[in-house]
Amino acid sequence: MVLSLNNKFGFNMVLAYGMLMLGVFMPFYAHAYTGVTIVMNVQTPANLEFVDQFNIELAKSKQVNLRVKVITLPESEKLVVAENSELVIALGVKALEASSKLKHTTPVLGVFIPLPTFNSVMAKSRRDLGNFSAIVLDQPFARQTSLIRQILPEAQKVGVLLGATSSQYTEYVREEGEKKGLGILEEKVNQEADLIPKLKKLLDSTDAILAIPDPTVYSRETAQPILLTSYRYQKPIFGYSQSYVRAGALAAVYSTSKQLAKQSAEIAIKSHQAPSELPPPLLPKYFSIMLNYQVARSLNIPLMDEDEILKKMQESAVAEAMENEEPRH
């Protein structure tokens, strides 16, 4: 995709993803805040678990005394917080959209937000990355390809179905696949009618399918036909959520509410101490994996224990990080 400065949405998306890959932090300028307001649209179990764990993580810090307030988004009233003196943590898309309308000097951190959605909200609100950020739901491709390599050590080619949104990540997926010795083959899905024919084409020439979130490709309506088609071809799908694994994917990397809360608390503590601006959008720092052993038996794929695979992935990530930090001569 060729980007221009007129294509603000596309430019911001790739820019933000580039920052995610590089782990770049913005310069520190913001004023300190004295509290945290957590905003949610609905009190779901995941949101409430996040709040509980966030408070636990803050309590562990002896250097910070931030008061925490929780707001359930009103249906008709305007969101009201102590602007400029609080960090606002928005749980979910609706909460982020409402929080984006606060004063631009009020720091906002989104959680449970896909990267494309974050970019869209940021563009509409005309907020700046310095005080508008998120821990996105998207798992790094390095982590996903590592999971594939641990489970399918003999795999050579992996297929990806790309829609209008996910097609912007093509080069990142290819690069991470190459690092793991995996050739990435992709098919573009422009409309729903293309989905199954393109999927079959990939299944004919690959060892597995890596699902990358995209509303054109993956939805509640398409999940069953995608999973059933891959099962007929006896090829596994690596999903992006627990629900997709429960539905029939072989495995997935994901981050729990508690893990996202831990990372959010770390950001709150660090930015309060600086005082600092928020970092640019971040990938999930902590993660878990989920395996579907029934699917593995049906596909005749031997699986190690989840904890063992997770440990190997973490060790591999540490080794790669150390290798990247070694001075080049």
Strands of the sheet containing 288-291, edge to edge, are 183-188, 157-162, 208-210, 237-239, 251-254, 288-291
Q: What parts of the chain have a pLDDT lower than 70?
A: 1-31, 63, 75-77, 82-84, 273-276, 324-329
DSSP string computed for 238-280: EESSHHHHHHT-SEEEE--HHHHHHHHHHHHHHHHHTT-PPPS
Q: Are residues 67 and 155 in the same domain?
A: no
pTM of structure: 0.84
Taking the CA of residue 150 as centre, how many other CA atoms within 13 Å lie in the half-sphere pointing to its CB? 28
d(CA 37, CA 143): 31
Identify the domain containing residue 55 by its residue range.
8-138+257-273
Q: For residue 89, give the amino acid letter.
A: I
Which distant-in-sequence residues (6+ apart) come within 8 Å of 316 by Cβ? Answer: 146, 150
Q: Are residues 117 and 239 in the same domain?
A: no
Query: How many domains is the chain partitioned into structurally?
Result: 2
Q: Are residues 174 and 247 in the same domain?
A: yes
Q: Are residues 120 and 163 in the same domain?
A: no
Residue at 32 is within a domain: yes
Eight-state DSSP code of residue 320: H
Q: Are residues 193 and 320 in the same domain?
A: yes
Residue at 289 is within a domain: no
d(CA 25, CA 297): 44
pLDDT in tens, 109-140: 999 998 888 999 999 999 888 889 999 999 99
Which distant-in-sequence residues (6+ apart) come within 8 Å of 324 by Cβ? Answer: none
Nearest to 185 by CA among 210, 167, 211, 158: 158
Give a three-class secondary structure readout of 34-60: CEEEEEECCCCHHHHHHHHHHHHHHHH
Residue at 262 is within a domain: yes
Neighbours of 72 (CB within 10 A): 13
Q: Are residues 118 and 151 in the same domain?
A: no
Q: Are residues 229 and 264 in the same domain?
A: no
Q: What is the mean pLDDT of the chain?
A: 86
Residue at 120 is within a domain: yes
Q: Are residues 178 and 310 in the same domain?
A: yes
CB 212 within 8 A of CB 140: no
CATH code at position 126: 3.40.50.2300
Long-range contacts of 315-321 (CB under 8 A, 24+ apart): 316/146, 316/150, 317/142, 317/143, 317/146, 320/142, 320/179
Q: Are residues 66 and 204 in the same domain?
A: no
Residue at 263 is within a domain: yes
Residue at 3 is within a domain: no
Residue at 281 is within a domain: no
Residue at 231 is within a domain: yes
Q: Are residues 201 and 123 in the same domain?
A: no
Q: Are residues 247 and 147 in the same domain?
A: yes
Q: How far is CA 83 from CA 189, 230, 276, in A?
A: 43, 50, 16
Nearest to 237 by CA among 301, 173, 192: 301
Q: Are residues 54 and 156 in the same domain?
A: no
What's the confidence (pLDDT) of residue 289? 97
What's the confidence (pLDDT) of residue 17? 52
* C-alpha torsion sign, points 119, 121, 127, 133: negative
| CA angle, 191 then 123 then 264, to 5° | 100
